[in-house]
């Protein structure tokens, strides 16, 4: 089986800290101040972005929440905030590039936003979206089809966190067969969302189902959780898989 094979078979073993610089770009975070549940002040934004640079990232794609009944972040609000963050990064001499998209909540307004092309994407027209944590939306497959018909490439945020699929892994297979990309929240691999989410994340890595990895960083607590994840064998396994698209962004 070999040394690494034995380690990858034991999710509680540890390796030296992974080198996140090989990823180049983080694709899920909340760094624009005061518009969602992430950074609340510009100083907090700068502290978080400095931490990302220290991890070795050269770029982040920050993704504020967008939802009908919560954070109503239009493209104009997000892009305006992005420019302010860029200006402050330049003023402080922090060497990291930042772009912005959004994390779209699959609610009753998302189909209309997609139809009107009022969505922010990143990379090769990647559209990051998340689901409610209570149950699978009845319209999930139809909204995915609509995204694809409109020319977008759906990216499901943190599939390892949706407990309603834990007892039926075929639900994940169904989405992969329909061309949905999966984005892992890195800290799931250290148990930050509980043991079940960690186990599902490992199974999805074993199946080769993740194309993107993100921090979903909101605060310095998340930064510490990222540090706690660096030695996890499954993080090493995913980075070494050659499947991640982060390096292309």
Q: What is the 3-state secondary structure (H, E, C) of 97-131?
A: EEEECCEEECCCCHHHHHHCCCCCCECCCEEEEEC
Q: At what angle do helices 233-240 and 195-206 cross, to 10 degrees?
A: 30
Which of 231, 161, 224 minimizes the C-alpha distance to 198? 161
Per DSSP, the three-state class of 63 is coil
For residue 210, the 8-state DSSP code is E
- The radius of gyration of the chain's CA atoms, rounded to the nearest angstrom, is 17
Q: What is the pLDDT of residue 79?
A: 98
Q: What is the pLDDT of residue 2?
A: 36
Q: What is the pLDDT of residue 14?
A: 81
Prediction pTM value: 0.94
By the 10 Å C-beta count (0-12 exposed, 13-18 middle, 19+ buried), 200 is classed as buried
Distance set, CA 242 to CA 49, 163, 245 (Å): 26, 28, 8
Region for residue 181 given its phi and psi (left: phi exceeds 0; alpha: psi -120 to 50; beta: otherwise): beta
Q: Taking a C-beta distance cutoff of 8 angstroms, is the pair 44, 222 a contact?
A: no
For residue 29, the 8-state DSSP code is B
For residue 169, the 8-state DSSP code is T
Distance set, CA 9 to CA 14, 44, 205, 233, 234 (Å): 11, 38, 12, 9, 9
Q: What is the pLDDT of residue 9?
A: 46
Q: What is the pLDDT of residue 235?
A: 98
- The pLDDT profile of the chain, 249 residues, written as one tens digit per residue, is 333 333 444 557 789 999 999 999 999 999 999 999 999 999 999 999 999 999 999 999 999 999 999 899 999 999 999 999 999 999 999 999 999 999 999 999 999 999 999 999 999 999 999 999 999 999 999 999 999 999 999 999 999 999 999 999 999 999 999 999 999 999 999 999 999 999 999 999 999 999 999 999 999 999 999 999 999 999 999 999 999 999 999
Q: What is the pLDDT of residue 11?
A: 59
Q: In order of start, what are the domains of the chain with their CATH numbers? A: 3-248 (3.20.20.140)
Give the C-alpha separation, 197 to 167, whole Å: 12
Q: Taking a C-beta distance cutoff of 8 angstroms, is the pair 126, 90 a contact?
A: no
């Amino acid at each position: 089986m070999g040394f690494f094979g034995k380690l990858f078979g034991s999710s509680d073993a540890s390796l030296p800290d992974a080198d996140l610089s090989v990823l180049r770009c983080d694709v899920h975070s909340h760094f624009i101040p005061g518009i969602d549940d992430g950074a609340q002040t510009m100083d907090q934004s700068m502290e978080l972005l400095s931490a990302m640079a220290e991890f070795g990232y050269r770029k982040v794609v920050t993704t504020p929440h967008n939802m009908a009944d919560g954070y109503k972040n239009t493209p104009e609000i997000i892009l305006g905030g992005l420019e302010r963050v860029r200006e402050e990064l330049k003023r402080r001499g922090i060497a990291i590039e930042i772009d912005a998209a959004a994390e779209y909540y699959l609610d009753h307004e998302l189909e209309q936003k997609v139809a009107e092309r009022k969505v922010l994407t990143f990379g090769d027209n990647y559209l990051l979206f998340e689901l409610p944590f209570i149950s699978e939306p009845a319209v999930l497959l139809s909204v995915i089809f609509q995204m694809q018909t409109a020319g977008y490439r759906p990216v499901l945020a943190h599939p390892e966190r949706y407990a309603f699929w834990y007892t039926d892994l075929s639900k994940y297979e169904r989405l992969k067969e329909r061309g949905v990309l999966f984005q892992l929240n890195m800290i799931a691999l250290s148990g930050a969302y509980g043991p079940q989410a960690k186990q599902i994340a490992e199974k999805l890595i074993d199946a080769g189902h993740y194309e993107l990895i993100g921090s979903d960083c909101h605060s310095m607590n998340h930064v510490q959780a990222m540090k706690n994840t660096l030695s996890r064998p499954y993080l090493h396994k995913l980075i070494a898989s050659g499947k991640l698209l982060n390096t292309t962004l």
